[in-house]
Amino acid sequence: MNLRKPAAGRPSGTDGSDFSYRMVVDSRYQKVAKGKSRFHTLILAQVIIQFCGVVYLFILTSKKETPDKLAISSAITGFFSLLVGELGRRHSRASLLKVYMITSSLALLLLFVDVSQGNYTFEGIGDLSNWQTKQLELFEMIRISLGALLQIFSISTVISLICNMSPPKRAS
């Protein structure tokens, strides 16, 4: 009963005149999908950075008698924020992503306070005679710098995600 000859490249059952009734995916949903993928990558990188910090903290604590309470609380807060951030990403919950932004920033702030109190001694890194003992401190300095950079990218990605997840504003 098909009287019309279907054009090449067109799906069978349509003559192409139904284009106005087809669904189009809003660009903000595509932005959310790309943002979630980018945020997942950033979370994985932050997990690696946090794990390296825990290893450094374990080595430092084994050398000292007293544990560094600020660094331990920063690590705990950091892992908690990553868990909340992953849950917020998976379930598209803006409230959890906001909690992630606050707690991950708090973890980084605790680490900066720990460094500013002098619990890490970065002086003498350029001295090659003491290179074996200063390798861990150099590693920790690089880890803190990378963590701060990742935090900036993560916050900007989360803000973009939250803006694109919210429903569009209606014109009044």
Q: Would you write out the chain's pLDDT as a tens digit for each of its 172 residues?
A: 555 555 556 556 666 666 666 666 677 888 888 999 999 999 999 999 999 989 988 887 787 767 778 888 999 999 999 999 999 999 989 999 999 999 999 999 998 888 888 656 555 555 666 666 677 778 888 888 999 999 999 999 999 999 988 776 776 6
C-alpha 48/C-alpha 52 separation (Å) is: 6
DSSP for the chain, please give it. Answer: ---SPPPTTSPTT--STTGGGS----HHHHHHHHHHHHHHHHHHHHHHHHHHHHHHHHHHHHHSSS--HHHHHHHHHHHHHHHHHHHHHHHT-HHHHHHHHHHHHHHHHHHHHHHHTTSS--TTTT-GGGHHHHHHHHHHHHHHHHHHHHHHHHHHHHHHHHHHHSPPPPP-
Q: What is the pLDDT of residue 115?
A: 81
Domain-wise residue ranges, the chain: 31-164
Tell me if 157 sits within 8 A of 42, measured CB to CB.
Answer: yes
User: Which amino acid is present at 55?
Assistant: V
